[in-house]
């Protein structure tokens, strides 16, 4: 099994730095998608700032996946 693909994930960064509304835009399969979502849910990001106020922002992240067996 060789995987050489790119996955795209969309999620919202909330004002308290947590992540919500996570979903795959394009996936690789083989359980990679589920593991990527699991890893992202444990991270914290800096929220967007507008007029000195923290706001919710949407992020689309592209992750290269290369695995060989």
**Global confidence as pTM:** 0.78
Average pLDDT of the segment spanning 60-65: 89
What is the domain extent for residue 36?
Answer: 2-68
| Number of structural domains in the chain | 1
At residue 14 the predicted structure's pLDDT band, cuts being 50, 70 and 90, is very high
In terms of phi and psi (left: phi > 0; alpha: psi -120 to 50; beta: otherwise), the region of 21 is left
pLDDT tens-digit map of 17-27: 888 898 888 77
């Amino acid at each position: 099994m060789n995987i050489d693909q790119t996955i795209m994930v969309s999620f919202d960064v909330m004002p308290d730095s947590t992540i919500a509304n996570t979903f795959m835009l394009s996936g690789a399969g083989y359980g990679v998608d589920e593991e990527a979502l699991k890893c992202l849910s444990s991270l914290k990001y800096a929220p967007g700032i507008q007029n000195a106020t923290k706001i919710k922002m949407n992020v689309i992240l592209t992750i290269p996946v290369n695995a060989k067996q």
